[in-house]
Amino acid sequence: MAYELFYWPGIQGRGEFVRLALEEAEATYVDVGREPAKSGGGVRALMAMLEGEARPRLPFAPPFLRDGDVVVSHVANILSYLGPKLGLAPDDEASRVFAHGLQLTITDLVSEVHDTHHPIASALYYEDQRNEAKARAAAFLGHRLPKYLGYFERVLNDNPAGPTHAVGDDLTTVDLSLFQVWAGLAYAFPRAMGGADKRYPALAALAASVATRPNVAAYLASKRRIPFNESGIFRHYPELDQGPAKTGRKRS
């Protein structure tokens, strides 16, 4: 039976982290929100799950995954469930727990990226909070982003198996997610990410390596890969892209 991924059509968003894992593993899946309504897909099918069809395991919001009778919500939780099934998780428990923690940290980073363009409320248009977004983006690029990227750079360099992967000596869902973050940041903040490959060479090398994996490369070149756009998580507003993110300074 095919996995069913429920996410909004037309954007990569948080659903893309799950898509990358499914595509890399060549898993059979249905992207329900992108299917025609006449075939039982589309937003109506997604909303039916949110409004009660998934009871008693009701998800709060997309993305969520249905695998037979199992419904799994939240990106990190979905990837923790899928990783072992798809061969994209470490073998030992300690490493799996560490990988899950890394995925949760990526979730935090993605949330902060979203808040650069919607710092007050998701229900408001970007234009209604532009000034606040400028302040939030400046703080994010100046302080928070260097902490996140610096942390993941250290994780890669501290990997006993070498910096080729985040955990262990083989590809995991964390590597795929770090690629997506790197690609998204490059789209949203090209000025701030200028020279990032020099500041975070291990991260840059990981992202480049993931992009050339045969299954990932085929997916990126296909129509299944929705382009980045200004409706998703990673949005490019030139006024928010305020120059290279510094590698961090200690406060006095």
Q: Cα separation of 114 and 154, whole Å?
A: 24
* 27 CB-side CA count, 13 A: 24
Q: Is residue 245 part of a domain?
A: no
3-state secondary structure of 240: helix
Question: Which of the four pLDDT bands, split at 50, 70 and 90, describes residue 252?
Answer: very low
Both tokens assigned to 78: 């979905």
Question: Which of the four pLDDT bands, split at 50, 70 and 90, describes residue 250?
Answer: very low
108 with 79, same domain: the answer is: no
pLDDT at position 169 over 90: yes
Indicate the pTM of the whole model: 0.95
Edge-first strand order for the sheet with 29-31 is 29-31, 3-6, 64-67, 70-73
pLDDT at position 109 over 80: yes
Q: What pLDDT score was predicted for residue 147?
A: 98
**Peptide bond just before 190 cis, omega within 30 deg:** no
Mean pLDDT of 187-205: 97
Both tokens assigned to 68: 């037979």
pLDDT at position 158 over 60: yes
Q: Cα separation of 184 and 77, whole Å?
A: 21
> 232: phi > 0 → left, psi -120 to 50 → alpha, else beta; which?
beta
71 with 141, same domain: the answer is: no
Q: Cα separation of 133 and 119, whole Å?
A: 6
3-state secondary structure of 38: helix
Q: What pLDDT score was predicted for residue 54?
A: 86
Q: What pLDDT score was predicted for residue 242?
A: 83
Q: If residue 108 lies in a helix (H) or strand (E), which one and from where to where?
A: helix 93-117
15 with 112, same domain: the answer is: no
126 with 161, same domain: the answer is: yes
pLDDT at position 74 over 50: yes
Q: Is residue 251 part of a domain?
A: no
Both tokens assigned to 159: 């990997």
Q: Cα separation of 122 and 216, whole Å?
A: 31
Q: Please choose, from the candidates 96, 100, 129, 103, the residue with its C-alpha nearest in 3D space to the C-alpha of residue 114.
A: 129
39 with 75, same domain: the answer is: yes
Q: If residue 65 lies in a helix (H) or strand (E), which one and from where to where?
A: strand 64-67
Q: Is residue 220 part of a domain?
A: no
Amino acid identity, position 75: V
Average pLDDT, the chain: 95
121 with 16, same domain: the answer is: no
CATH number at residue 20: 3.40.30.10
Q: What pLDDT score was predicted for residue 72?
A: 97
81 with 97, same domain: the answer is: no
Count other C-beta atoms under 10 Å from residue 14's C-beta: 22
**Angle subtended by helix axes 173-188 and 93-117, to nearest 10:** 20
109 with 127, same domain: the answer is: yes
Q: Is residue 227 part of a domain?
A: no
Q: What pLDDT score was predicted for residue 248?
A: 47
Residues 17 and 10: beta-carbon distance below 8 Å? no
Question: Which of the four pLDDT bands, split at 50, 70 and 90, describes residue 29?
Answer: very high
Range of the domain at 189: 93-214
Q: List, as one string, the DSSP characters of 169-218.
A: TS--HHHHHHHHHHHHHHHH-TTTTTTHHHHSHHHHHHHHHHHTSHHHHH
pLDDT at position 64 over 70: yes
How many residues does this entry show for the chain? 252
CATH number at residue 145: 1.20.1050.10
pLDDT at position 126 over 80: yes
pLDDT at position 156 over 50: yes
105 with 200, same domain: the answer is: yes
